[in-house]
Structure 1
Amino acid sequence: MLKMIVVDDSELTRRGICESVNWEMMDIQIVGEASDGLEAMVLIHDTDPDIIICDIRMPKLDGIALINEVLPSHPSLQVIFFSGYSDKEYLKNAIKLSAVDYLYKPLQLHELIGAVEKAKKKCLNKKVHLPQREAALALSLLQCGEDDAPADLPLDLHAPMVTLILQMSVAGEHVADRDYDSQLDDRLLASRHYLAFHKAAAQIFEGKFVMSCVGKGYILHANVSPDFLIRQTAEVKLQPLLTTLDTMQADVVVGISNLCADLKYLHDAYDEARAAIRAAFLLGYGRIIFYRDLSRKPFVPAQDLQRELYDSILANDFTKATSFLNNYIDDLAACREQDIPQIKEALASIAYWLSQQAGKQNSESGQNISEFIRFAPDIDTVRRYLLLLLQRHIDNISNLDNKSRIVLEVEQYITQNYDKELSIRDIAQRVFVTPNYLCYLYKKNTGRTLNQFILDTKMKKARRLVCETNMKFGEIADALGYANQNYFTRLFTKYFGESPRAYRNKYGSLSLPAPEEEE
């Protein structure tokens, strides 16, 4: 039974078409209706009909535009147009699209049945001569064995082949837009340019290839000469694929497998092309990526390097921070493609920290950052995003009034120098104010004393050293800038309500026993 859909903005017309004929007797099943072109586009991709009866004049997307959009990815679709307008231009366009018929409203029942019968014959003829739609052959070959591969393919499955995957990206638009990145929108993007890329591939491979839409691009198997993968040869021959799109908004990347000698190795070639195309996140678009050239360098999380970045930002050394961030991302871009998920996690943690420094600490920021990095087309897009967050932090610092800046600089200095014996006099000299004025200014702006902030900072560090290390308590006192261990012990006991030894015994995370010592 053939599948048919009806598209018209008039519910009355749709109902008349559906109910006026016993379609089951004609071996036709109506699988859906749509009231406009955009709704019909979704319906076509969801139901994959054999026949469409479609009005010309419709809201959102007219019938001609609709068929132009879907025909590349549904080349077997048989189209019957109808309209209340006897416009010759519409008729010309219908002829160009190889429509089965063009009917005028009000529809005559015998004309409608006759048009559907003609569409049925075309469908049946195509099914006899083309067991699998040409537009799906490249994908279907990956599941084929030696015995069930189609016999009338335009390429030799036992001659040298390569697998290519082409992917498109719309730069600067729809990043982190989950609606855009849906499967439907991917298919629409690919189907829109299918014919253009197919034409370019036909010239490159002299017709010895098959090609299918997949995601935001295409998968392609092609016969090539043994020397095709010589870099200069391949890059010259494949260049038309990179320049097929005539808009500066979109870029293309081509991932290419190693040479494949036979059908039984085709899935391996497909996996190689997929790895190459995934590497586009690290290497960028507008290029050809050979599987053989992919990096083998593993990604190793470097928390110390991230800490160095954060310290330079907290020290307001933004030139160093910017240079460090660029170098760090360059290093990530040189890693292997299978580590991309971990690389994205590292980038997301930096982005979240920068967003906090820029004052964006709402509950949605973490999710938004993760979504952005997940959908970013390449690492350079993430680089620009991180540099933007850094610039926002710089702008926030620049916009502080003088008093607020003094408080910020004092807190940053204390945070970075907790291991020293900090005196209010020395701190005041660093910000060029008197000690009394500094104490007054800090208390007025923060509601607590400067000595309390110093103590809080040192005790937070002390708690970590007590609980997470096996350092002697005298060593911890030295690490916090206290010359006297007993003085440190008294401060710790007063602050936490327990001595360092009791606190370590209760909350320590290490399994090794603490060194024996006097408190």
Structure 2
Amino acid sequence: MKRVMIVDDNQICSEGICKNIHWKSIDAEICGIYTNGKDALSQLEKMKPDIIISDIQMPQMNGIELAKAVLNKYPFIKVIFISSYDDFNYAKEAIRLDVCDYVEKPIDYQYLFEIIQQTLHKSDLEKDTLERLEQSRPALMEKFFLDLINAGSDYAEYTLGEQAAYLDLDFSAHEYVCVYIDIHKYLDQMKILGVERYHMQIFHYIKTVENVLTKQCICYTINQGSRLIFLIGSISKIEDGFIPYLIKKFKNLKEEFQFQSLTKTIGIGNIVPSIWEISLSYQNAKHANGYKFILGEDSILSIQDIRQNNPFPIVFPLGDEEKFINFIAQKDISSLKDFTNLLEKRWTSDYYNKNGIIAYVYSLLSRLLRFLYDIGIEDQEIRYKMTNIFKKLEELQTSKEICSYLFEICVFSCKMLESSVQSKHTQVAEQVIQYIETHYHDFELNLNKIGQFVNMSPSYLGTLFKRAKEKSISKYITDVRINKAKELLKNTNYPIMEISEKVGYANQYYFSASFKKITGITPSEFRTAAEKKVSPPSI
């Protein structure tokens, strides 16, 4: 039931309002009648009215003064003015105070009834809105703090100050720090634990953190499922220092929660003197958290320590790219393994951040792509794999993972290079064979001449051909010439001297000696055997 307070120094007027309004029909009752504003104000806390119907002209405290005092402290109490003075200044003041209505005396009770009814309805709507706002308070607070950590310190208080006052937030601490916690592979953990159990573990962790810190700190939390952001204010002097205190507390919590399957990386930002500057601490906490990439998951990382250990920008050592490409070109897997292990040690000792490491690896892989392109390797699989690398790098969580993946790419590239080299060697060997088949009759056919044709040095070509065909080029030339000679001996009546010339021998005697060395018989004996249809020995 709604409660109505009447304030009027005219008793007849007050009684008239009491008797002529059907209060039960609008679910309302009179909670008090007072003859001046001062008495009414003193009973306000006790009576808790929803509506005050007040005269304007009264002794000690008039209606305007009463309304100002009431609305300043209880903005949701509704005020209706009644007055026998038809003065525009009163109406203007009533509007400025945002009172609900202004009714002139003598009172039209039906009109007053309607005004009261409308005012109560308006009060109900506002209370409903207030209840909804209160229910959504956690969401409003989270939005406020998200806006706060993303707002520049120059205008955070200007844009968010009124919201902080409405939410009644305690910002009395004398210094603040942001702690940024990243949950490693939270989607996988959610699948393993189940959504409900996952969030229960997170909730339990948050409450424990808040309870541990509450003696010396104010703590506000943003829970985003995959990350937790604590905005922590120090309300009393901490002997060992604020940052060491937080590191110690979170280390203890880490031991306490080691039974949980959740792996957390904790980044601690810098100290700021005001909550309105917390965005700077947030950015630094997030930056510190990024060093899990080199220092590993489940670490506690303070921006202070990182700055002390890494005061200089990342520098790519000269010669790394060429050394890397030489190992690839030589298909030296062992040296590539040592190279990637050395990278990981360097990144860890020099406190490289993730962006710096990715930029470095991009540089190496871009050089590798150029190298493979230059030597003619444009395989579709390697193009896809190289394109996928740049997406994959963003997903990897530690420098160890990146080094392992980089080594996999090295091994894959070496295999592709080996396959490409073998394919190219086979192609060159086939070119050589085709050239020999069409030029075997050339007296001057030799390794040097063939090398000029395929644009390779004689020594390299000789090694390549022997590896591909398991015989030397000179042996292959001799075999082709002897086989061609055998065909001519069987199928023609050319003299042996002419046959020797046709197959590339300038000297008949040298031809005969070579023929016998390979077949075991002389050219003449071969021809005689062929004429008698006796199978001669084969090469």
Normalised to the residue count of structure 2, the TM-score between the two structures is 0.44
Larger Rg: 2
Higher helix share: 2
Normalised to the residue count of structure 1, the TM-score between the two structures is 0.46
